[in-house]
Amino acid sequence: MTNLRRYALAVALTTGTAVPALADGEVNIYSYRQPDLIKPLLDRFTEETGIATNVLFLDKGLVERIQAEGENSPADIILTVDISRLTEAKDGGVTQPIKSAVVDSDIPAQYRDPDGGWVGLTTRGRVVYASKDRVSQDTITYEELADPKWKGKICTRDGQHSYNIGLIASMIAEHGEAETETWLTGLKNNLARKPDGGDRDQAKAIFAGECDLALGNTYYVGLMQTNEKEPEQKDWANAIKVLFPNTDDRGTHVNISGVAMAKYAPNKENAQKLVDFLASGEAQEIYAEQVFEYPVMPGKEPADVVKAFGTIKPATLPLADIAANRKKASELVDKVGYNEGPEM
């Protein structure tokens, strides 16, 4: 990157004053994913192509940022987690269709937007964390979480969190709104406490004996098991086993990390090369290894840590169908008073 471009981009990404690209040979990435999680992937891309990568990390407001920058936005690529944030970007008018023979060949249709607005890269299961000491069964269904036998024994994070909204939306797609409302009410009544914390906090609560079951994403288990900075998280992970719901029927609900191309990408050709790289088998394995998720490309293996959880059978419901029910899911969370916790 030239000194002029480095200065211009620094101004753009720190002050919000966007400028057009001043040089070839780079791609600008706006990311909801932590930079250290995607660095190995982007380093390999640069090694293979010579194209430099510039990353702006945001924990919120990414779509609003690009909207404000307008046609002068330096954003080429959007990297994010969760189908809701991908559809938010598309619906917010900040993406353009991805047209790629590599994507069409390597990424199954259920993990792609029908209009090309986004492409899934990895999946994570929304699974059940179960106490190794207090839960004897090794199989479960999402429907069973509403069974009164679990009254006072389940912990979850906020019902409005995108991870839980995705699961509830999938239940609506499978069972309809009325039946899902009944199920969600039953789950609420089985909670040990008001929804609180993140997925790792649910494992911590199981470790502390506050509950026996919790909803959580698979990758958090890998992150806890390998956390050297906070070794107490290894104890939380060791206290739980991963149960993959509905393995005997439709399969486990999965969500995705994914990529979209920014509407006014100033380095569109390089952005397309990055999309093709991310969809390739090599990148799929690097990405999945780094973030403890599952590659979406058929035949590619997850990390050994993830394999140790057991075998996942992903539900085949298209993510676009789940996304279409997210508003109803959010309304149901409020309607049943899920975040108020169990009735005493």
pLDDT at 81: 84
Give the span between the Cα atoms of 307 and 252, in whole angstroms.
15
Model confidence, pTM:
0.84
> Comparing 3-122+255-301 with 124-252+311-340, is the CATH topology the same?
yes
Residues composing the chain: 344
CB 256 within 8 A of CB 169: no
pLDDT at 6: 42
The pLDDT value recorded for residue 72 is 96
Class of domain 3-122+255-301: alpha beta
Q: What per-residue confidence (pLDDT) applies to 22?
A: 39
Domain boundaries, the chain: 3-122+255-301, 124-252+311-340
Q: Which residues pair with 242 in a beta bridge?
A: 129
What is the pLDDT at residue 23? 39
Find where tokens 């919120």 sit. Answer: 60
Using CA atoms, how far residue 207 sits from 84, 129, 213, 215, in Å, is 31, 11, 11, 14
250 contacts 315 by C-beta, under 8 angstroms: yes
Q: Which residue ranges in the chain fall short of pLDDT 50?
A: 1-8, 10-12, 14-24
- The pLDDT value recorded for residue 83 is 85
142 labelled binding-site residue: no
- For residues 182, 187, 189, 195, the Cα torsion angle rounded to the nearest 10 degrees is -130
Predicted pLDDT of residue 260: 97
Instruction: Give the 3-state secondary structure of 7-45.
Output: HHHHHHHHHCCCCCCCCCCEEEEEECCCHHHHHHHHHHH
Residue 32 assigned as binding residue: no
Strand 52-57 relative to strand 154-155: parallel, antiparallel, unpaired? Answer: unpaired
Which of the 8 DSSP states describes residue 124? E
pLDDT at 17 (0 to 100): 36
pLDDT on residue 9: 52
The domain made up of 124-252+311-340 has a fold known as: D-Maltodextrin-Binding Protein; domain 2 (3.40.190)
